[in-house]
Amino acid sequence: MKIAIVGAGAIGGFLGARLAAAGHEVSALARGATLQALRTHGWRLREAGVLHTAPCAAASADAAELGPQALVVVAVKGPALADVAPQLAPLLGADTTVLPAMNGVPWWFVQGLPGVGDTPLESVDPGGRIAAAIALPRVLGCVVHAATGTSEPGLVEHRMGQGLIVGEPAGGESPRATAIASLLREAGFEATASPQVRYDIWFKLWGNLTMNPVSAVTGATVDRVLDDPLVRAFCSAAMQEAAEIGRRIGCDIRQAPDDRHAVTRKLGAISTSMLQDVQAGRPMELDAIVGAVHELGRRVGVATPNVDALFGLARLFGRVRGLYPAA
């Protein structure tokens, strides 16, 4: 299959390397040092100390040089997507599927969602630029359950997990979702086709909503966040607010915050992706993880004082350090 990876960082590089090794024609839309590394070395992935390489079919900063694809995997950071999306048109043929492998609430999340309206969330799609550039029928929802990083441009380090969930935004089963899940399994991922991918996205977000920004602001690994009873209680309260929003939008989470904390604690002293971004001086992916919950709460009439406090403190932290846009 002809596949393009848009954003060949930790997650994009992980998917690109595995898919290329499985024999697919995998290109990359990238820039800077990552672009140069892909042109020089191809796809590189280190797992359990072993370096795996695979050829990169083409690497360019210009989508027109890559041409139409069967599958486009979008793995850029959330803050960059509004600028990137309009540039993807040359990749989109008549039957191209777009698979967003990104953190948090995706731009398409409220489209067709009863009781919310089709107006894009301003927090994740300001002005509706992404929705205008990528038509909803092209989109296949995706949830990534994997921990990866980059030790240098173009070199992905796989730490743990290889789960991928894909599904139709409108719900239900489809030949397309089944085929993409099969393709991903053949590339070594633990991939499933879900009939309710919107719920799967919300459930993962519910678990990341507090750990990511709290760790980023405090500099603490998740075990230390959970070991402080006051911070843990605050996180639980914010999660309860997000769970109530979920009930209003058909994403009813039955797990209790303490049960989720127990799962997170088993991961040990890990640094969240947002903490890693802060430490590296990269923009904080705050809007898709916390800002979208804040905005959705207002749309469906759920008070979110704890989420609001978390969002306000985290964005102020980011603004002071130049990692989040000024007001």
Decide: 171 and 198 in contact? Cβ < 8 Å.
yes
Residue type at 208? N
Query: Is pLDDT above 90 for 288?
Result: yes
In three-state secondary structure terms, 282 is coil
Decide: 25 and 87 in contact? Cβ < 8 Å.
no
Q: How far is CA 201 from CA 162, 233, 238, in A?
A: 16, 24, 17
Element (H, E) at 193: strand 190-193
Query: Is pLDDT above 90 for 8?
Result: yes
Q: Both 144 and 213 in a single domain?
A: no
Q: Both 34 and 148 in a single domain?
A: yes
Q: Both 15 and 105 in a single domain?
A: yes
Task: Report the percentage of the chain scoring pLDDT > 90.
Answer: 96
- Report the C-alpha gap between 243 and 294 in whole angstroms: 12
Number of structural domains the chain divides into: 2
- Report the C-alpha gap between 11 and 201 in whole angstroms: 16
First and final CA of the chain: distance in angstroms?
44
Of 2, 77, 204, 266, the active-site residue reads 204
Half-sphere exposure of 18 (CA within 13 A, CB side): 23
Residues with Cβ within 8 Å of 69's Cβ and at least 6 positions away in sequence, in order, are 2, 3, 4, 27, 91, 92, 93, 96
Q: Residue 327: pLDDT band by 50, 70, 90 thresholds? A: confident
- Residue 209 sits in which domain range? 199-320
327 occurs within a structural domain: no
Query: Is pLDDT above 90 for 116?
Result: no
pLDDT tens per residue across span 183-230: 999 999 999 999 999 999 999 999 999 999 999 999 999 999 999 999
Q: Residue 117: pLDDT band by 50, 70, 90 thresholds? A: confident
**Which pLDDT value is given to residue 55?**
97
**Which pLDDT value is given to residue 150?**
93
Task: Report the percentage of the chain scoring pLDDT > 70.
Answer: 100
Q: Both 38 and 128 in a single domain?
A: yes
CATH number at residue 285: 1.10.1040.10
pLDDT tens per residue across span 82-115: 999 999 999 999 999 999 999 999 999 999 888 8
Residue 204 bears catalytic tag: yes
